Amino acid sequence: MSLWLEILISALLLLGSGFVLIGSLGLYRLPDFFTRLHGPTKATTLGVGAMVVGSLIFFSAGEKGLSLHELLISLFLFISAPVSAYMLAKAAVLQELPLEPKTRGKPWEQ
């Protein structure tokens, strides 16, 4: 494997790890459910996506062919993450979960 390909794979893995770390910190540090929902759905999806692309490049270069396992994983990830986040947010709105006073907008008061 060439040096530039190893650098690209390493950069994608580091970028993905950074996004996953930021998403995990957001899940831990943000004050209420609705703001905590953004960490795993946005940053972590991008992070896992970058790591899967790095894995796709690594295994495709090693096998001299396209690795379809990683494509299926990324397709499932990018379809299921927004749908699950929407379902969690909808359930939280229906249960009228408590909000941090600084959070703007209360959808159940409309």
Average pLDDT for residues 58-65, to the nearest whole number? 81
Question: Residue 73: pLDDT above 90?
Answer: no
Reported pTM: 0.78
Instruction: Give the helix/strand (H/E) hosting 41.
Output: none
Residue 46 identity: L
Burial zone of 4 (CB within 10 Å; 0-12 exposed, 13-18 middle, 19+ buried): exposed
Q: What's the pLDDT tens digit per position in 15-60?
A: 999 999 998 898 888 888 888 888 788 887 889 889 998 988 888 8
Please state the domain extents for the chain.
3-96
Question: Residue 110: pLDDT above 60?
Answer: no
* pLDDT for position 3: 92
Confidence of residue 97 (pLDDT cuts 50, 70, 90): confident
* pLDDT for position 26: 86
Confidence of residue 108 (pLDDT cuts 50, 70, 90): low
Percent of the chain at pLDDT > 90 equals: 22
